[in-house]
Structures are given as structure tokens and as C-alpha cells.
Amino acid sequence: MKIKNICCIGAGYVGGPTMTVIAKQCPNIKVTVVDINQDRIDAWNDNNLDNLPVFEPGLADIVKETRGKNLFFSTEVDTAIDEAELIFISVNTPTKTYGKGKGMAADLKFIELCARQIARVSKQDKIVVEKSTLPVRTASAIKSILDNTGNGVQFQILSNPEFLAEGTAVNDLLNPDRVLIGGDNSSEEGIVAIQSLVDVYANWVPADRILTTNVWSSELSKLTANAFLAQRVSSINAMSELCEKTGADVNEVSKAIGMDSRIGSKFLKASVGFGGSCFQKDILNLVYIAKSYGLNEVADYWEQVILINEHQKNRFSDKIVSTLYNTVSGKKITFLGWAFKKDTNDTRESAAIKVADNLLNEQANVVVYDPKVHLERVYSDLDYLKTRSVEENRELLSVESDPYRACEGTHAIAILTEWDEFKEYSWQKIYDSMNKPAFIFDGRGILDKNSLEEIGFTYYKIGLGK
């Protein structure tokens, strides 16, 4: 089937960039991204491209090029579903906060709502594509809802998980390592549906990078990929603690092991802990699925990835407190970075949140500077934890829009995000304005130890032993 109209439900970090790139690469397809969140849609339609709800290098230019031509953002969900031959579901699938599986399982209520809406609205056959990350076997639940509540039209369900990373989303989408499409490859209709989506991607992705599998392999591959990636970070972070005790340097260890082609050099950067909306959520989901099949050893194995990550965040804040003579009460501590990684304005599950929460428990005065994260976001991240009152959070923590001002009179600087601009600062100027002794806790290992020590800083780098 030749696809002329695509609808994507969910205009978030995945739906927005993914559909923008599809629109760019497929000028003959009309792409409509819909969301129930009016503010988000308004922001996607804002004439000032600085106000797009998602910051990604290169994204605004492509939105400018395609928006209003073959890319549309709208809250008219029914209309877009009705017009489309192919519908991506790209809504959020957070960890459940209630009931069975609370704190572990994926909450599928948004997915189910989408399926029911698609069933209600559709008057012609449709291909429904799971773009969201879902527990393995969700496609059968979606199919059951569609077939039992629909208007008698035929639905084909495909799984097409997204592997983009934030901060590099545009490049990841334009040059993906692979595109994965799972479908019912045992029926003629299933094969036609798979081919229709393959043809969309074939507009720019080389054929040998478009992988087709059965639905379950595709669903499970997404959880597996995130589990493996997060596991690498936890593995190197676990070694970073041992490096600090033994005089080894985790960067040298990473380099040494990464040159083994079986291990590979990517994703071996020790840090204050991984963040982002997905690693933790997806591993918890995997652990829950394994447990639900009685696979307790499998569940325990993957859970350890999360436990090490929690430990890494806690040990970073502990290190700050112990170095500052075991008390940070009333002391100003400056955070450079709040986003969960550089080149994104996303802060979900950022390590900075937990580290700040720990230091606020010790009554520190935390000052935050991040080039892309706004004040409201920082406060909402903290308030969400419900550790202390909204007023106390505002009393103890402030947000500065100028990095030098954020560092004035501070006792210690903690690097929480690896923004490139931090490397370019005048560290002498910062040192001169700080309380002495002046400490830096580099949770991302991005600054140069020798030059900072020459200036007079006491410098701690994650994973660097003495």
C-alpha cells in the first residue's frame, strides 16, 4: 500500500523530531502530528523557532523547511486519524505509579486510549505502528482492542521502536544504525503492511539497514537495546569507584578496554549516573516482565543496573559533603548543568535532581545554571519528588542565567551535565570570585585537572584515583 497520509499521536521528544524528519525525507507524504496537549501543539506551531517544545541541534531548521508544507501539528486527533493510512502511536509510557506493578511496570493507559480512539474513528483499513517503547506482547492487546471495538475495518499492527538519543536526534534519524520493523510476517496482509512502512523509510535509509522481524522480537529488542546501553554505563560507573580507590583512571581504563573490538569504545564514559526518561523506566519494565514469567534470576541481574546507578548518584553527593568537611549546611554549591545530558533541554530522571535533593537534605544552598533548562523546569523536577515543601525548595535552591554569577561566592562547583561551553569558561575568573578553598566536583570528567589545580582549585574527577 502506498502511504500518502501519516498521523502520529504524541508530539513529544520522539513524535516531534521523528515526524519532522519523515516529512523532510518524504515530501510526497502529508504528516500530521497530533497531541491532546494544546500548549505543546502551540509551541510546535510557534513562529519563533526558539519556542519549539523540544530543543535538538538542527531540528528548528527542518521544522522551518517542512511545517505548513507537508508537516502539520494539531490537536484535531480524530481528523488526523481519519485521514491517515498509517498511524504512529508515540505517546508516553511511564512507569506505573499505582496498583499492580507500581514502580516497575509500564503504564499503558495512554496507549489503550489511543487504540480505542483509533478504533472508534477509523472507517477504512489502517496500519497502526507502535513507536512508543512497549512491553513485549503489547501488540496483541492493541489488536484485541482494535478488533473488538472498531467499525469492522482491518487493522495491521507493526512495531517500529525508536532508537534516537536526545541531543543527537536529528542525526540519528537521518542516519540510523538500523530501522527495526516488526509485523505479522505470516500473513499476506501483514507482509503488505510491513512493506508499506519499509517503503517510507526507504526514501532515505539504505535497504540493508531496514530490518524486519516478527512483532515480539521487535518489541523486545527495544527493551534489550536500552538495557544493554544502560548496563554499559553502570558497568563503567561501578569501575569508576574502584578506580578512585586504587589509583587507576577510569578514562584510561575505558580507552584500554574500548580498543578491544569485541567491547567497542562507545558508551563507556563514566558519569554521575545515567538519566533520561527511558533507561530506568525500560529496565524496570524489563525486570517486571521477567518476574511476571517467574524469571527471578534474570530480573535480579538487570535490576542491578539500576541499583548501581542510584549508588553512583548518591556517592557523588556524599563525596561533596565529606570533602566539604562533612557539612554543607548553609554553604553555597553551584551546579553547572541540570539536563540529563548535553544538547537537550530534557531533564527527566537527570542525575542532577537526585544529587540536588541529597544536598538540600543537608541544608546546602544550591544554585543551578544550565544553558537550556528554565527555572520552572528545575523547580518542578524538585517539587515532583515531594521531599520537602514547595516553599523550602525555593528557599534552598535558586537558578541563575549567568554561569559566572552562579559561581560567585560559592564553596564548590559540581559539574552535572557535560555541556561543551563549560570547558571554555575562564576558570581563573571563576576561581577569583569563589570562597576558598575552591572545590570542583566534575561528575562528567570534562575539565582538565592540571590546569585547574594550577589555578588553585581542589579538583575531584569521577573515576580518577590518586
Distances (CA, A) of 466 to 239, 326, 377, 381, 393: 15, 20, 37, 35, 36
For the segment 232-291, give every residue that binds ligand NAD (CB under 6 A). Answer: 277-278
**Whole-number Å distance between alpha carbons of 246 and 465:** 6
Catalytic residue among 7, 114, 278, 407: 278
* CB-nearer residue toward ligand UGA: 17 or 150: 17
Residue 90 touching ligand NAD (CB under 6 A):
yes
Torsion angle of the four alpha carbons 44, 45, 47, 49, in this order, in degrees rounded to the nearest 10: 10
End-to-end CA distance of the chain: give it in Å, rounded: 63
CB burial readout 9-18, b (16+ within 10 A) else e: bbbbbbbbbb
Number of Cβ within 10 Å of residue 175's Cβ equals 12
Question: Is residue 108 at the binding interface for ligand NAD, with CB under 6 A as the rule?
Answer: no
Tally of residues, the chain: 466
Nearer to ligand NAD, 35 or 442 (CB): 35
227 near ligand UGA, rule: CB under 6 A: no
Q: Which CB, 130 or 166, lies closer to ligand UGA? A: 166
Does 415 interact with ligand UGA (rule: CB under 6 A)? no
Q: Single out the residue of 3, 6, 7, 11 in contact with ligand NAD (rule: CB under 6 A).
A: 11
Q: Which does 275 bind (CB under 5 to 8 A by kind): ligand NAD, ligand UGA, none?
A: ligand UGA
Q: How far apart are CA 220 and CA 357, in angstroms?
A: 34
272 is in an annotated binding site: yes
- In sequence order, the 6+-apart residues with CB closer than 8 A to the CB of 252 are none
With CB under 5 to 8 Å by kind, the binding choice for 35 among ligand NAD, ligand UGA, none is ligand NAD
Q: How far apart are CA 307 and CA 309, in angstroms?
A: 5
Site size toward ligand UGA (CB under 6 A) is: 21
The question of whether 407 is a catalytic residue gets the answer: no
Residues that bind ligand UGA (CB under 6 A): 133, 162-166, 226, 229, 233, 267-269, 271, 274-279, 340-341
Task: Give the residue ranges of the annotated binding site for substrate.
Answer: 162-166, 222-226, 262, 269-275, 340-341, 444
Active site (catalytic) residues: 278
Residues annotated within a binding site? 10-15, 35, 40, 91-95, 132-133, 162-166, 222-226, 262, 269-275, 278-281, 340-341, 348, 444
